[in-house]
């Protein structure tokens, strides 16, 4: 159970003297206690500093406005890009899936066992196959078919279903490419699992191509979705050893475990506000 007194600050700013002291003093003056702190600087001179701070503060829910107003002054002084997140507020998640359900199942499973601190608001699929996995859990399932000729209609329907309250979308083997217009609604809030070790095998049929190339390890990559296909910031990657006994089908079956593991970790880190995006890369404080 996450305490309502726990808050998180994510910060990125030009590095200079006194930032840590300023942030620490700010929290101390509010009578908050730092529970965890991570910091990373690309370069002490002229680089960028990244911080993640978890703190406990009495009556936090009532004092969020005060906290943010006061921190805005600190942030201004140091040119910070920053974000405050109360640890106890669950992000609302939508999951997109196509026919292969292993990644969806892994997420639902981790969610049910309490490992993913989120509310699964809905599952959207261009097929109806996953309905029976989703509805028994009390999660709404929406079948939104996608046709080549009218992708825009499908996206409109999806956006209508998503509404205004979705914090994060996970593409759990959703095999349709979303338009830039759609993506703009969720900047660095959509996580995709690609079934290869990117940047190898960008695009279609990575397992067949991995087989054709004769690789000795197969991989999966969880990354934020950007307008360039499979080029968004990588959050997590995983690999598994294979050999000549594996045909393309066996690679695909084995790859499921790799995809599940990489995606589950990436989603968990995102939900726990452990990921900062910077120049198409991620700093993961995990």
Query: In this structure, what token pair is assigned to residue 71?
Result: 């921190």
Nearest to a copy of itself of 125, 282 (CB atom): 282
Place of tokens 């360039």: 228
Tell me if 131 sits within 8 A of 108, measured CB to CB. Answer: no
Burial of residue 62 (CB within 10 Å: 0-12, 13-18, 19+) is exposed
Tell me if 229 sits within 8 A of 177, measured CB to CB. Answer: yes
Nearest to a copy of itself of 19, 97 (CB atom): 19
State the catalytic residues: 230
- For a copy of itself, the binding residues (CB under 8 A) are 15-25, 27-28, 31-42, 44, 56, 102, 105, 109, 113, 115, 136, 197-201, 213-217, 219, 233-239, 241, 243-245, 247, 253, 257, 261, 280-284
DSSP per position, 4-32 = TTEEEEEEEEE--TTHHHHHHHHHHHTT-
Least separation, in Å, of the C-beta of 160 and a copy of itself? Answer: 32
Nearest to a copy of itself of 167, 270 (CB atom): 270
Phi, psi of 103 (to 5 degrees): -70, -40
Q: In angstroms, what CA-CA distances link 245 with 87, 190, 211, 216, 242?
A: 46, 35, 11, 11, 8
Least separation, in Å, of the C-beta of 161 and a copy of itself? Answer: 27
Nearest to a copy of itself of 186, 197 (CB atom): 197
Residues in the chain: 286
DSSP character for 135?
G
Least separation, in Å, of the C-beta of 163 and a copy of itself? Answer: 31
Least separation, in Å, of the C-beta of 216 and a copy of itself? Answer: 4
Query: In this structure, what token pair is assigned to residue 94?
Result: 């939508």
Nearest 5°: the CA angle 234, 238, 243 is 135
Nearest to a copy of itself of 136, 148 (CB atom): 136
Pairing of β 168-171 and β 91-97: parallel
Least separation, in Å, of the C-beta of 91 and a copy of itself? Answer: 20
């Amino acid at each position: 159970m996450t305490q309502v007194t726990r808050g998180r600050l994510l910060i990125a700013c030009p590095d200079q003297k006194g930032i840590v002291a300023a942030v620490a003093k700010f929290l101390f003056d509010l009578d908050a206690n730092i529970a965890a702190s991570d910091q990373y600087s690309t370069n002490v001179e002229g680089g960028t500093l990244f911080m993640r701070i978890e703190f406990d503060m009495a009556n936090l829910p009532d004092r969020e406005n005060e906290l943010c107003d006061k921190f805005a002054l600190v942030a201004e002084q140091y040119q910070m890009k920053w974000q405050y997140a109360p640890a106890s507020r669950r992000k609302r998640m939508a999951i997109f899936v196509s026919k292969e359900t292993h990644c969806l199942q892994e997420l639902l499973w981790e969610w049910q066992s309490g490992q993913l601190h989120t509310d699964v608001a809905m599952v959207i699929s261009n097929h109806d196959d996953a309905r029976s996995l989703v509805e028994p859990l009390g999660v709404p399932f929406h079948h939104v078919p996608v046709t080549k000729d009218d992708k825009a209609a499908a996206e409109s329907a999806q956006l209508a279903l998503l509404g205004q309250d979705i914090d994060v979308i996970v593409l759990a083997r959703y095999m349709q490419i979303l338009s830039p217009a759609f993506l703009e609604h969720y900047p660095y809030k959509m996580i995709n699992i690609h079934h290869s070790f990117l940047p190898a095998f960008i695009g279609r049929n990575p397992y067949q191509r991995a087989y054709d190339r004769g690789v000795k390890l197969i991989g999966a990559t969880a990354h934020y979705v950007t307008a360039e296909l499979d080029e968004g910031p990588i959050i997590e990657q995983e690999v598994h050893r294979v050999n000549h006994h594996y045909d393309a089908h066996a690679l695909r079956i084995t790859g499921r475990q790799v995809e599940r593991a990489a995606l589950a970790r990436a989603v968990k880190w995102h939900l726990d506000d452990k990921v900062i995006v910077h120049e198409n890369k991620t700093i993961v404080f995990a």
